[in-house]
Structure 1
Amino acid sequence: MTLSPLDDYPIHQAPQVMRHVATSDRNFYDRYYFNCHNGAQELAGRERARDANEQRSGRDHKHADGRLMLIVGVGQYPNLGVTDAFACIRTPDLHRVVRASRELGADRMDTGIGPFRVEVIEGLKRLRVILEPSEHGLSFDLTWEGTIPATLEPRHFIRWQERVVFDSVRLAQTGRWSGNIRIGTEDIQVTPDRWQGTRDRSWGIRPVGEPEPPGIQVKNPGTFYWLYAPMQFDDHAILCIVQEDEQGRRVLEEATRVWADGREEYLGRPEYHPVYAPGTRDVVEATITFGKLEVTCTPLLPVHLMVGTGYGLEPDWKHGMYQGVGPVVQGVTYRLPDDAARMWGMVDAVGRFEYDGRVGHGLFEYWALGPHPSFDGATGP
């Protein structure tokens, strides 16, 4: 048992040092997720004319209108002794990932992993996210400020074949960004009038680290039918989750409207109606209804979250997988459309959302894997 600076705070939840969590489950994790995009920059009239003038004067606006999305994750896996991070930048022709891993050590307050770090400036309100320059062609220094209070989502609990495989809680928040992003030799200024996003903090149990012998878990159907859509409007946000099993039964759901002053309004059971591109499970548009309230959703820029980031596709780099004492830092770059065949799995898209004359933007995250009543299997794996 090793002490850390956290042990000097009156926050213990178990008769352990803060380095140790209350469960010995190898799959315990504690992580940050952020996304940053300019999807709200759907300019019209005077603003477009202004941008045209600025472009003629040398200012770069080629990433306007939702054509850039940055996703960042930082995680700790106390029972695996690992901490890691990734950043994924997506433009129309680029999917670039920088990732890093090291041994966790005793000090869980140290979020630095090679060139990555997260700084909490004001808890639940303002954070700073940094990726220092390296040979991998992506860096940033960004400050997040929430536009609604951080909101606790429902507990996520799934037991498969007697084993608890998901048992976690998560807070969600919409917000705006300021700072800068550098892609190769291109510098992009990030200002809160144009750049927004969503973030979450989740912790608990879910599959991480090196693969385990499956045992009886081979009987599971392998379905992951999922929608996660935090949407940001001018003075409020809507937080929506839908997860169903292979029979269409609800595993998890949420539908809450959160106002900037902290008021929360339950919207009722969300109903999700996606439209897929022919022969695929790629969503081209969707409708989400909450009673009489109907939101239309349009994905603007798909980001294949699982490619290169550690969410499970690469056998040699998964969240929580031991890479050595570290820090180990790697870069992965794909070009589109040449590498389009590699883009598979969970999609985190910049989304455009409309209801009752309001237009908002946010995250449209979805995956339709395995059997489900909404399709017969002819539209993809």
Structure 2
Amino acid sequence: MTLSPLDDYPVHQAPEVMRHVTTSDRNFYDRYYFNLHGCSDELMLIIGIGQYPNLGVMDAFAVARRGPAHKVVRASRELGDDRMDTRVGPFRVEVLEGLKRLRVVLDDNEHGLSFDLTWEGAIPATLEPPHYLRWQERVVFDSRRLAQTGRWTGSVVIDGERIEITPDRWWGSRDRSWGIRPVGEPEPPGIQVKNTGTFYWLYTPMQFEDHTILCIVQEDDKGRRLLEESVRVWSDETRENEYLGRPEYHPIYVDGTREVSTATIVFSPPGGRPFAVRATPILPVHMMVGTGYGLEPDWKHGMYQGPDLKVQGVSYDTRKEEDAARMWGMVDSVGRYEYLDGAAPTSHDTGYGLYEYWALGPHHSFKD
């Protein structure tokens, strides 16, 4: 066992040093996620920084979608003994004020993407329901996550062009999640080959001028709910969160695909009037291309990349047929959200935020 500076703080949860977690599951992770957008189809930037204590790895990525360009910078190193050290080569995250303000940096590098950004929460950080799934006897998800919408200040540089980021128009959302989920090098599938492969998912932090709706829907192939959330959180911290009941999700797909063109999400708050929000994806980012979320054999979250720091850049042009063909899987899109039929609780009836979805494998709503 090795001590770290964090061991000098009264934060221990178990008779272990702080670099070790209480489970030996190889898939334990602890991660930051951020997104930035201009409430338009101009640019979406997504950033992730994660630790994998039982794999001994820390890695980071940033992906920028601007026009047809899909540009990724990623880095990986051995975790070491100090989990307070959030640097991964040119990446770092700094907590300036817990649950409110953070700084996220990608220093200048040879791959044409860098930034220095400060996040400020627009709503209180909100704890989501636990995510727990057991497939064929194996616990594959057992995690917790906080969510928050907010605004950005700073700058982003893409291929030498500097973009000034001001909070009046550059919004976004973030989460902090930790626990167990599939990470690292592939494991022998064993009995998991019997899984249907369904991952039917919707995650929509909808940011309006004075409030946010946090919505999650996950279903199995028969449409049974595995995880759900719907809550309205006000920027005014004196107002209580409003539970919005069971969310109903009605996507419309582009013909012949599972690409969402628009969707309606219906909320039924207990004792209140049901209402609907129309969601329109306006700038898709394919999260499984280059970032570590996908099936690329040489780079996955938590995958050991050797004893030395490794920093890489990956770029694609979605106008090219071979690059466009790579764009599949989980989509994190800028979404436009509109209250329907005058249901907005204030005068702010149009908002923007993350529209994250995936419809993988069989599901009762598909005929194919």
TM class by shorter-chain length? over 0.9
Paired residue for 2:358, among 355, 363, 367?
367
Secondary structure, counterpart of 2:325 in structure 1: helix
C-alpha deviation, 1:93, in angstroms:
1.4
RMSD: 0.7
**Residue type of the partner of 1:2?**
T
Paired residue for 1:271, among 213, 238, 248?
248
Aligned to 1:326: 308
**Per-residue CA shift, 1:185-225, capped at 9, x if unaligned?**
11000000010000000000000000000100110110000
Aligned to 2:264: 287
Secondary structure, counterpart of 1:342 in structure 2: coil
- Runs of 5+ unmatched residues, structure 2: 269-273
Deviates more, 1:297-306 or 1:352-361: 352-361
Taking the aligned partners of 2:317 and 2:309, their CA distance within structure 1 comes to: 27
Taking the aligned partners of 1:67 and 1:285, their CA distance within structure 2 comes to: 19
Counterpart check, 1:255 vs 2:248: no
Taking the aligned partners of 2:19 and 2:225, their CA distance within structure 1 comes to: 35
- 8 Å CA contact 2:58, 2:302 repeated in 1: yes
Aligned length: 352
Taking the aligned partners of 1:188 and 1:67, their CA distance within structure 2 comes to: 11
**Per-residue CA shift, 1:144-196, capped at 9, x if unaligned?**
00000000000000001111000000000000000000001110000000100
Secondary structure, counterpart of 1:25 in structure 2: coil
Deviates more, 1:309-318 or 1:222-231: 309-318
Taking the aligned partners of 1:130 and 1:376, their CA distance within structure 2 comes to: 45
**Residue type of the partner of 1:279?**
G
Taking the aligned partners of 2:308 and 2:249, their CA distance within structure 1 comes to: 43
Q: TM-score, normalised by structure 2?
A: 0.95
Taking the aligned partners of 1:352 and 1:296, their CA distance within structure 2 comes to: 8
Taking the aligned partners of 2:367 and 2:60, their CA distance within structure 1 comes to: 37
**Residue type of the partner of 2:361?**
G
- 8 Å CA contact 2:287, 2:294 repeated in 1: no
Taking the aligned partners of 1:354 and 1:320, their CA distance within structure 2 comes to: 38
Taking the aligned partners of 1:256 and 1:192, their CA distance within structure 2 comes to: 24
**Residue type of the partner of 1:35?**
N
C-alpha deviation, 1:87, in angstroms:
0.1
Q: TM-score, normalised by structure 1?
A: 0.92
C-alpha deviation, 1:9, in angstroms:
0.7
Secondary structure, counterpart of 1:301 in structure 2: strand
**Per-residue CA shift, 1:242-268, capped at 9, x if unaligned?**
000011100000000000123200000
Q: Structure 1 stretches (4+) deviating beyond 4 angstroms?
A: none
Counterpart check, 1:6 vs 2:6: yes
**Residue type of the partner of 2:14?**
A
C-alpha deviation, 1:106, in angstroms:
0.4
**Residue type of the partner of 1:206?**
R
- 8 Å CA contact 2:59, 2:74 repeated in 1: yes
Aligned to 1:22: 22
Aligned to 2:297: 315
State percent identity of aligned pairs. 74
Taking the aligned partners of 2:295 and 2:65, their CA distance within structure 1 comes to: 18
**Residue type of the partner of 1:361?**
Y
Aligned to 2:271: none
Aligned to 2:337: 353
